[in-house]
Amino acid sequence: MRVEHDAGRAAFLDGLRALRAAVDDLDDEQLLAPSRCRGWSAVDLLVHVHLGLQEMLLGVVTPATAAPDTDAAGYWRTLPPPTGPDSVAHVRFARLMASAYRTPTSAVGHLRETADALAHAAGSLPEGVVAFQGCALRTGDFLATWAVELAVHHLDLGAELELPPPAPAALTLARDTVEALAGGTLPWDDETAVLIGTGRRRPDDRQAAEVAALADRLPVLE
C-alpha cells in the first residue's frame, strides 16, 4: 500500500488539526474520562500520542541512506505485539507521565506546542525516504502511518466523550490500511471498519457473517 507524498502529508496535517480541535476545549474533568485504550484515560492517551509525535520528529529530520523497505501498511507488521510485559510497561509509563503534569489540561498544552512544531516540519518535508524505527519509508507512506495513528486515537478518545470526528482523509487512510492488512474489503462505513479492524469494537453476529472470509484475520492491529 503506497501513499503518494502529497496525499500522506495532507492526511497527516488534517488529522493533526482535527485532533487538536477535538481536545483543545476539553477541561480537566473531561480529560479524565476513560478512552478506548485499556488502562488509559483521555489524558493518558494524549500523553502517548505526544510521545509518538516527538518520535515522529526524528523521522522528519532523518533521511534514509537505503532504499525503502516497507510501505504504509507493511509498517504496522513491523511493530511488536500489542500485549505482553512491554505493552503493560508502556501503559504504566504513559499514566505516570500524565500524572506528572499539574493538571490534565497542562498536558494538552504541552502537546499543542509539539503539534505546532511538527505541523511546520511536516509541511516543509521534501519528498524522499526517511529512516524511522528501523525501517526506511517513502515520505508519503511515513506521513500516512501517522495519519492513521492520529485517526485511530482520535476515535479512542470518544469512548465517553462527545467529540467531532477524525479528519476524513486520515480516517479513510486508516480504513485502507486495515483492509490492506486484512487482505479484503470490509462492508461498513469507515469508522466501523476502523474500530472493528483495530480491535476497538467486537463485530456483532451480523457483522461477523458479513466478513466471514476475513473474520479470522480481524483485528489486524491494536
Which of residues 168 and 85 earns the better pLDDT score?
168
Q: How confident is the model at residue 82 (pLDDT cuts 50, 70, 90)?
A: low
Tell me what pLDDT residue 84 has. 58
User: How do residues 18-44 score in pLDDT, each as one tens digit?
Assistant: 999 999 999 999 999 999 999 999 999
Return d(Cα 33, Cα 43) in angstroms, integer: 8
Tell me what pLDDT residue 213 has. 86
Give residue limits of the domains in the chain: 5-217
Return d(Cα 147, Cα 194) in angstroms, integer: 13
Q: What's CA 36's distance to the chain center, in Å?
A: 13
Tell me what pLDDT residue 176 has. 97
What residues contact residue 88 under an 8 Å CB cut-off, 6+ apart? none
Residue 173 CA: distances (Å) to CA of 24, 149, 199: 24, 10, 17
Q: How confident is the model at residue 222 (pLDDT cuts 50, 70, 90)?
A: confident
Return d(Cα 63, Cα 198) in angstroms, integer: 30
Tell me what pLDDT residue 85 has. 65
Q: How confident is the model at residue 193 (pLDDT cuts 50, 70, 90)?
A: very high
pTM tops 0.85, yes or no: yes
User: How do residues 86-121 score in pLDDT, each as one tens digit?
Assistant: 788 989 999 999 999 999 999 999 999 999 999 999
Confidence check: pLDDT of 83 > 60: no
Q: How confident is the model at residue 78 (pLDDT cuts 50, 70, 90)?
A: confident
Q: What is the mean pLDDT of residues 80-85?
A: 61
